[in-house]
Amino acid sequence: MLAQKIKQLRLSRGWTLDELVARIGGVVTKQAISKYELGLDQPSAPVLTKIAGAFNLKTIQLLSEPKYRIEFVAYRKRSALRKKEQSRIENFVKERLEERLKVQNLVCPNVTLNVPVRKFNINRLDEVEKAADTIRSEWSLGKDQISSLTGVLENKLIHIIEVDANDKFDGMAAVAYEDHHIKGVAIVVRKGTQGERQRLNLAHELGHLVLKISRSVDEEKAAFRFGAAFLAPKEWIMREVGDKRTAIDVQELIILKKKFGLSLQSILYRLKDLDMISGSYYIQWVRCISKMGWKRQEPNPLPVEKAEWLKQNVYKAFAESLLSQVDAETLLGEKIDDKTPLSLKKIRSFIKLPLEEKRRILAEQAEKAAPDYENDNARDAWQAGDFLEH
């Protein structure tokens, strides 16, 4: 278990054995670290403390058993990444998802996950349309615009994790299991993509998460079509564009881009899928988009959506004293400027005490305050709760 944990943490940071040795001050060799990771040897207590410090963890965290088994959905089949980079991303995601599930268990332990993982059987490509409509209906999203897809997914406790990666990586989905029960899910996207591409990547990975696709169907095409159908339902896009079109102006496409939150080429592909434009007309547009240099940088780029769940709920857990300031700052990767008034902190701490302890403190304070009870100011202070300042 310790061997697996050390290797996972090292790989998630993209460190070589030599880099880990350097970060622990060279107290052991890389051969020793390799033995730790293979389970052939155990680090001494001082070395273990050094290793934990390098990962910005407490020693007990390094020794704790992993609570979840994390699997990646339909990822290895389509990844064009080199093995080392793929391993780094996977281990990074495991670590981040485990952190989020700890916070999730603190702030909303009784919330039921409402994500239909691999529930929609797909035997034909066009069946994904119904799956996308069903999820929109079950999630009460209606048929119109999703202004923030990130917000929708986070409201359903789908954790959004961003990674630094090259352009060979677009996204992945992960599922965390505890005793064969799904305890959490995540969608992973690359940092630095344009808003329209980010949204389709999120919807695409949602497709991989919820669809159970037969071998006769191209999995990537199914996930892509699901993503487009989820963001631009057939009924809505036909209402906006019309059943059949022979030509579309670029300015109309830019307006549609803003409405659907999809790239120009994704909108055109959606129209082709629904037989609203011909395949040959779609190809003409693809060539035009390539010639204009819009494959990498489209006109009127959409803003990147920002994931807020982790930050909001870490602050919530910190405010409720469920997380220490050190742990909260570690999760956020930034310092917390704690401006909570001291009196509020004392009141909050007092409220959490057992009943007998509250009674004891109140009795002591009442006894101390009794001689001054004649004094109006003292009485006002008592009523204001100033006894908690002692």
pLDDT in tens, 36-56: 999 999 999 999 999 989 988
Q: Taking Cα atoms as reference points, which of 217, 291, 218, 277 lies closest to residue 247?
A: 277
At 49, the amino acid letter reads T
CATH class of the 1-66 domain in this structure: mainly alpha
Kindly state the tokens that stand for 47. 């070395």
Q: In this predicted structure, what is the pLDDT of residue 168?
A: 85
Distance CA 288, CA 290 (A): 5
pLDDT one-digit tens code per residue, 182-222: 999 999 999 989 999 999 999 999 999 999 999 999 999 99
pLDDT at 382 over 50: no
pLDDT at 279 over 90: yes
pLDDT at 148 over 70: yes
Average pLDDT of 352-359?
78
Q: In this predicted structure, what is the pLDDT of residue 77?
A: 59
Residue bearing the bigger pLDDT, 377 or 233: 233
Q: In this predicted structure, what is the pLDDT of residue 360?
A: 83
Kindly state the tokens that stand for 280. 């040959």
The model's pTM is 0.80
pLDDT at 34 over 50: yes
Residue 170 binned pLDDT confidence (cut-offs 50, 70, 90) = confident
Q: Taking Cα atoms as reference points, which of 52, 150, 160, 55 lies closest to residue 97?
A: 160
Least confident of 43-57, 276-290, 300-314: 43-57
Residue 378 binned pLDDT confidence (cut-offs 50, 70, 90) = very low
Residue 60 binned pLDDT confidence (cut-offs 50, 70, 90) = confident
Average pLDDT of 57-63?
82
Residue 179 binned pLDDT confidence (cut-offs 50, 70, 90) = confident
Distance CA 303, CA 196 (A): 8
pLDDT at 376 over 80: no
pLDDT at 254 over 90: yes
Q: In this predicted structure, what is the pLDDT of residue 63?
A: 83
Q: Taking Cα atoms as reference points, which of 332, 128, 310, 328 lies closest to residue 231?
A: 128
Please list the residue range(s) of the chain that carry CATH number 1.10.260.40.
1-66
pLDDT at 390 over 50: no
Q: Are 203 and 227 in contact (CB under 8 A)?
A: yes
Average pLDDT of 144-157?
95
Distance CA 122, CA 216 (A): 9
Residue bearing the bigger pLDDT, 264 or 374: 264
Residue 340 binned pLDDT confidence (cut-offs 50, 70, 90) = low
Angle at 151 between CA 308 and CA 222, to 5 degrees: 125
Q: In this predicted structure, what is the pLDDT of residue 71?
A: 93
For 319-347, the three-class secondary structure string (H helix, E strand, C coil) is HCCCCCHHHHHHHHCCCCCCCCCHHHHHH
Average pLDDT of 335-349?
68
